[in-house]
Amino acid sequence: MRVFVNDGALDVPPGSDVSAAVRAFDPDIERQIASGLAYVTDGRGIELAANAPLASGAILRVIVRARRGVNVNADA
């Protein structure tokens, strides 16, 4: 079945979940999601679980979380 991840269309087996689609798109992104550095939303911006089943034509967007680090402007 055809699904869309970010700007790419790809075909995944029927019954695939979010994780399978992201893995087919880019395995590195799947690892970021598994570690909490990124998450996936549907076409409406609603966050999806990695094990959420997909339907043909699903639109997925991968969002990389902003990293919290050392405050660059320590004087502020």
The yes-or-no verdict on residue 25 having pLDDT over 80 is: yes
Q: Taking residues 8-25, what's their average pLDDT?
A: 96
Comparing 15 with 67, which gets the higher pLDDT?
Answer: 15
CA nearest neighbour of 38 among 57, 55, 56, 25? 25
- HEC profile of the chain: CEEEECCEEEECCCCCEHHHHHHHHCHHHHHHHHCCCEEEEECCCCEECCCCECCCCCEEEEEECCCCCCCCCCCC
Domains of the chain and any CATH numbers: 2-64 (3.10.20.30)
The pTM of this model reads 0.80
The yes-or-no verdict on residue 74 having pLDDT over 80 is: no
What integer pLDDT is reported at residue 66 of this predicted model? 80
Q: Across all residues in the chain, what is the average pLDDT?
A: 88
Q: Taking residues 4-11, what's their average pLDDT?
A: 94
